[in-house]
Amino acid sequence: MPDAAQPQPTSAAPTGGAKSMDNIMALCKRRGFIYQASEIYGGINGFWDYGPLGTLLKRNLREAWWQDVVMNPCWGRAGANNERVEMVSVDTRIIQNPKVWEASGHVSGFNDPMVDDRETKQRTRADHLQGVFLIRPEEVHGPGVAMYTGGYIPGRVPDFVVVGSTPHEAAASLQVDKKLWKLAGLSKVGPIPVDQATVWPATLPGASLFAEIIQGRGQVFVHIYGIDPAVLRERPAEVPSPFTGKRGVLTEPRQFNLMNFTYTGALFDEANKVYLRPETAQGIFVNFKNVVDTTRVKVPFGIAQTGTAFRNEVTPRNFTFRSREFEQMEIEFFCHPGEAEAWYRFWRDWRMEWWESVGLKGENLQLREHEKDELSHYSRGTSDIEYRFPFTAPGFGELEGIANRGDFDLTQHTKHSGVKLDYFDTDRGELLPNGSKKGERYIPHVIEPSAGLDRGVLAVICEAYTRDESRPSPEFLKIHPRLAPIKAAVFPLVNKDGMPEIADRLHAELVKRFGRIGAIETDSKQSIGKRYARMDEAGCPFCFTIDGQSKEDQTVTVRDRDTGKQERLALDRVSAFLSERLAL
């Protein structure tokens, strides 16, 4: 399959309060947040570069996580055992001994099923093929959709196919993909509702979206759900291609390992084959003993790490949401087996609070506990913090997972390495005559809050993106001040009459005070309205303007990004004002 950048699926056109992914992506390019990697050569699918503002935003989100997880863990609050949360950090390598990945199960089990279109050479995950089934009136038992109870129809071949991780995502793309409706021979298409009211109860097999479309005088009902795996496996020739609608061109699903590999040493052979890590967690697990032996940490404690990981995604898509190179923010928290459930609940709830604290509040953020059939074989419990992205709406996409992994990881590495990774806890066991404890040896259980940094940046941008048609420039980013890449801007109203000199002095003062946490912008070109608009699109929360009155009474105009309101402020109060608003 050619690895050139492919067009990115977009969300449906905005209606009402909906946000357009096309508009968000355009703003990201225009204002220097995110670029297609190696764009001048046509790009490369699944890889994205951060521009000047995107780099600052990503750094600020990473730093906020670092401060709240490592330097001041959990804002100093007590954990599940009513003790202060203790956290240390490591920085492990992208390339580890290949046996690490054998022990973790990634070499043998880190696979996705894929199918190829033989003619276009395009590839996608088999489990992301959503079948679109046109239910004819004669198949409906009763008058209308409300009486239809067929749900999932085993063995049925879809009328056409859309790529989407969920039926909601598939429905969103159907809104704008008119060519698919033409392939189905539909002369007139009515609206496809994708709100929660159109989702069948989860108790029905094949819970899916349902919509009504018009064909001539009759009605056709649209049913969307994942294609029966048996159909893909045994009758791939009957399944339409999601790329062209043609039947007979899809291959059978094949297992596709998601790990990227390279070679170290002089020879490119199996003996020198190594993997680019698909997650940062394993570097923490294999250093558990080193950390315990070289520091004074005691269980319960956590090890935190941020870093780049790689997954050879079959179908990277939806901007930076599903990429082949991405950055993670991970915690592995080691605790006594008897306290694991309490710690799991603590981390699950606190991580949700944390995302809310950086601006992801309201109906777009949810905490979802996994059902038993969703759990990994080693998981004792998993929750996802999910965000409603424009391309998943009205559904949600994973932002962070919190898992109770039990003792699986340390047990596996003990078995494969031969090195004991247990822990002797001197604070446990029966009380001895001398008043000390006998101690207890055990393999700690692990609670893993694992967040995607790139997905976090994307969620922050999507949440912040705002349109207000009453403003001269309708688009702006309401980024939380703590994360804003530009903290403030200082503008002379005009480039004369002593205003530039006052602006330069104020700018230098603010750079010295706040430059460590973000950029302080200054600009004297173009009209003041256009300069405000640029800062609004960059997410800058405050602009300070030096005007004719500033020289007379030593005041400036401060403009609020979110409201557009302006007020006068004493020049010598600007630094304190900004410090208060940034909560420093």
Q: How many independent structural domains does the chain possess?
A: 3
Same domain, 271 and 366: yes
Asked whether residue 192 is domain-assigned, the answer is yes
Instruction: Decide if 509 is inside a domain.
Output: yes
d(CA 391, CA 393): 6
Same-domain pairing of 98 and 230 = no
> Does residue 438 lie in a domain region?
no
Same domain, 80 and 122: no
CA distance 160 to 184: 7
- Which residues are paired to 73 by β-bridges? none
Question: 185 and 271 share a domain?
Answer: no
Kindly state whether residue 12 falls inside one of the protein's structural domains.
Answer: no
Task: Reply yes or no: is the peptide bond before residue 394 cis, omega within 30 of 0.
Answer: yes
3-state secondary structure string, 93-156? CCECCHHHHHHHCHHHHCEEEEEEECCCCCEEEHHHEEEEEEECHHHCCCCCHHHCCCCCCCCC
Residues 122 and 93 in one domain: no
Same domain, 214 and 328: no
In-domain check, residue 3: no
- Say if residue 274 is in the same domain as residue 370: yes
Segments in 362-469 forming alpha helices (H): 408-417, 453-464
Domain C-terminal end among 256, 288, 306: 256
Q: Are residues 40 and 150 in the same domain?
A: no
Whole-Å CA distances, 409 to 93, 542, 560: 18, 47, 49
Does residue 334 belong to any structural domain of this protein? Answer: yes
Q: Does one domain contain both 231 and 135?
A: yes
pLDDT one digit per residue (tens) for the chain, 584 residues: 334 333 333 333 333 357 999 999 999 999 999 999 999 999 999 999 999 999 999 999 999 999 999 999 998 788 888 888 999 999 999 999 999 999 999 988 777 788 999 999 888 888 888 888 776 655 654 444 443 344 456 677 888 888 887 766 676 666 545 555 565 555 555 544 443 333 333 333 333 444 555 555 456 666 777 787 888 888 888 999 988 889 999 998 888 788 899 999 998 988 899 999 999 999 999 999 999 999 999 999 999 999 999 998 887 889 999 999 999 999 999 999 999 999 999 999 999 999 999 999 889 999 999 888 778 878 889 999 999 999 888 788 999 999 999 999 999 999 999 999 999 999 998 888 888 889 999 999 999 999 999 999 999 999 999 999 988 889 999 999 999 999 999 999 999 999 999 999 999 999 999 988 889 999 999 999 999 999 999 999 999 999 999 999 999 999 999 999 999 999 999 999 999 998 75
User: By residue range, what is the domain housing residue 550?
Assistant: 469-581
Q: What CATH number has the domain bearing residue 380?
A: 3.30.930.10
Q: Within this chain, do residues 168 and 235 fall inside the same structural domain, yes or no? A: yes
Residue 419 domain-assigned (yes or no): yes
Q: Which residues contact 493 (CB under 8 A, 6 or more apart)?
A: 499, 528, 545, 546, 547, 548
Query: Of 256, 286, 307, which residue sits at a domain end?
Result: 256
CA distances from 212 to 11, 160, 338 (A): 20, 16, 52
User: Is 444 part of any domain?
Assistant: no
Asked if residue 239 and residue 288 are part of one domain, the reply reads: no
Using the 3D structure, point to which of 206, 238, 256 is the last residue of a domain. 256
Q: What is the helix (H) or strand (E) element at residue 326, kind and residue range?
A: strand 325-335
- Regarding whether 411 and 310 lie in a shared domain, the answer is yes
